[in-house]
Amino acid sequence: MPAPNFVSTKETSMELQDAYKPIEMELLEVQQKIFEQFQDSDEQLSTALQVLSAGQGKMLRPAMMLLSGRLFSEIRSKHIDLAAVIELVHVASLLHDDVIDKARLRRGQPSANALWGNTAAVLLGDFLLSRAFMLAAASKCDDAAIVLGQAAQGLCVGELKQNLLKGRLDLIEQDYFQMTEAKTAGLFRCSCLLGAMVSDAPKDQQEALGRFGCQFGLAFQIADDLRDILSSEKREGKTLGTDFLQEKLTLPVIHWINQDRNQKQMRMEQAAALKDPGWLTEQMQLSGSIDYALEQAKLRIEEAKQSLVLLPPTPVKEALLSFADQVVADII
């Protein structure tokens, strides 16, 4: 089995590497559990799954789930199983996202849809979802299955709403945050809530960890949207610049359109006729919309950290706070 790349990639900061340390060995167990779910007796399917397995990412959601659990107890087998479930759901959603976005790269490698076509990529995502929920059922944790089901449903609702609102230039920030809370923040909330739940944390602390995950997830998506605009494919290892080309309005674009009521109609018309996304990026920088989105991400991170204020200072809590700080640390 390959060495874990969640702490060794050159793009990972020293601070983030340190944040993984309290649960590093347990993450190896999660990775092994995921590796087992990528096995199949069918030769052709097994080959495709091995390619996907080799491209595992930073294991952020499982790490946050384990850290949330470690706040209240030792890590048990249910933590490992459910952390693997969360990552499988996440990977399945990425397979579907890449089809929708027509992305050609994922984690620096050709995406599944680029390798095998859209149909195979969607079906591979469905296969991983089936494996995830079989593993969740085997954990015999009914409350966890409900939380996972709600998160998966929310993810689908958020993506579906985003697709139905595709190309709508009259969106407001409330629309953006509703979609983001469902399709991104929900799985982070699920990760942190489940960790505390499986550790039998008091109800109020379970809710606090859920709030931490939700606010973290909102900031994470804003940061990801900004990287889609400002970063490079070489740095991020995935197809960038897809959001506006796919007619998905992100927070900086929505802010730019709506920041001046007298110019709103003109800006909607400019966006509708846009051929060069670089022009829009320049306008958003000049108008302060990029800075506004960055400040909104920072605000959500501060709200996330505030959710943990009543917890005593420990290395595990500091690791969670470090994950939060790194969300916006390297955007620009």
CATH number of domain containing 274: 1.10.600.10
Q: Cα(287)–Cα(253) distance, rounded to whole angstroms?
A: 11
Q: Tell me the HSE value of 316 on the side-chain side, using a 13 A CA sphere.
A: 21
Q: Give the tens place of pLDDT for each residue, 125-150.
A: 999 999 998 999 888 887 888 999 99
Residue 2 is assigned to a structural domain of this protein:
no
Report, as ranges of residue numbers, the positions in the chain whose pLDDT lies below 70: 1-12, 41, 55-56, 232-242, 330, 332
Say which residues have a Cβ less than 8 Å from residue 318's Cβ, sequence separation at least 6: none
What per-residue confidence (pLDDT) applies to 238?
Answer: 47
- Kindly give the interhelix angle for 264-272 and 251-258, rounded to the nearest 10 degrees: 130
Residue 1 is assigned to a structural domain of this protein:
no
Residue 252 is assigned to a structural domain of this protein:
yes
What per-residue confidence (pLDDT) applies to 332?
Answer: 55
What per-residue confidence (pLDDT) applies to 239?
Answer: 52
Q: What is the reported pTM?
A: 0.91
Number of independent structural domains in the chain = 1
Residue 7 is assigned to a structural domain of this protein:
no
Q: Cα(246)–Cα(234) distance, rounded to whole angstroms?
A: 21
> Which helix (H) or strand (E) element contains residue 109?
strand 109-110
What per-residue confidence (pLDDT) applies to 306?
Answer: 98
Whose tokens are 């197809």? That residue is 239
Whose tokens are 């490079």? That residue is 232
Q: Cα(83)–Cα(70) distance, rounded to whole angstroms?
A: 13
User: From the CB of residue 83, how many other CB atoms can be counted at a distance below 10 Å?
Assistant: 31
Residue 3 is assigned to a structural domain of this protein:
no
Residue 41 is assigned to a structural domain of this protein:
yes
CA nearest 221: which of 195, 190, 188?
188
- Domain range for residue 259? 14-326
> Which helix (H) or strand (E) element contains residue 106?
strand 105-106
Residue 267 is assigned to a structural domain of this protein:
yes
